[in-house]
């Protein structure tokens, strides 16, 4: 190194500045690496969205003849008679009213037998029970 104090001061200044620049370059390199990672994530998500769009556009439309699935009505004819009676009146009915509509004697065994059938239809989503013991067709 030079013995000249002015040259020595300039060389020290240059070394200090070189260290500062090296530190800044390291910081910039770290930021570049982080931004590159983030850009990769964005590119991957963009690609996933593109693939999803492409997949959705290639799905076939449902055929018009496939309507909503019909609820499973029990096989016993009494269920169909109850549904017919409710549809014909167009209003909610109680078990006693259903017995009358089905020409059954108003006896406790008949009303209880009739009451459990609409309850089963309610549990299957075929009928609704707007209030306890009152049965109706949906939409009625």
Residue 99 lies in a domain: yes
Residue 89 lies in a domain: yes
Residue 9, pLDDT score: 93
Residue 124, pLDDT score: 87
Residue 74, pLDDT score: 81
Residue 106 lies in a domain: yes
Token pair, residue 34, equals 């982080």
**CATH number of the domain within which 85 lies:** 1.10.10
As a dihedral over the C-alpha atoms of residue 30, residue 31, residue 35, residue 38, rounded to 10 degrees, the angle is 70
Question: Could you report the average pLDDT of every consecutive run of 10 residues in the chain (140 residues)?
Answer: 85 96 96 97 95 89 63 81 89 90 89 90 90 85
Q: Identify the domain boundary among 37, 61, 85.
A: 61
Q: Please state, for a pLDDT cut of 70, what percent of the chain lies above it.
A: 91
Residue 25 lies in a domain: yes
In the three-class reduction of DSSP (H, G, I as helix; E, B as strand; rest coil), residue 11 is classed as helix
Q: Check whether residue 96 and residue 127 sit in a common domain.
A: yes
Domain that holds residue 34: 1-61
Q: Over the stretch 40-75, which tens digit does the pLDDT of each residue have?
A: 999 999 999 999 999 888 888 777 665 555 567 887
Residue 69 lies in a domain: no
**How many separate domains does the chain show?**
2
Q: Check whether residue 5 and residue 55 sit in a common domain.
A: yes
């Amino acid at each position: 190194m030079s013995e000249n104090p002015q040259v020595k001061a300039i060389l020290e200044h240059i070394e200090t500045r070189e260290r500062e620049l090296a530190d800044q370059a390291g910081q910039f390199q770290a930021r570049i690496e982080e931004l590159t990672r983030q850009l990769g994530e964005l590119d991957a998500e963009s690609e996933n969205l593109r693939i999803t769009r492409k997949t959705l556009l290639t799905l076939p439309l449902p055929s018009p003849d496939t309507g909503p699935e019909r609820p499973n009505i029990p096989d016993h004819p009494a269920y169909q008679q109850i549904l017919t009676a409710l549809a014909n009146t167009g209003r909610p009915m109680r078990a006693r009213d259903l017995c009358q509509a089905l020409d059954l004697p108003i006896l406790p065994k008949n009303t209880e037998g009739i009451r459990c059938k609409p309850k089963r239809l309610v549990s299957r989503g075929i009928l609704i029970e707007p209030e306890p013991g009152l049965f109706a067709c949906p939409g009625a």
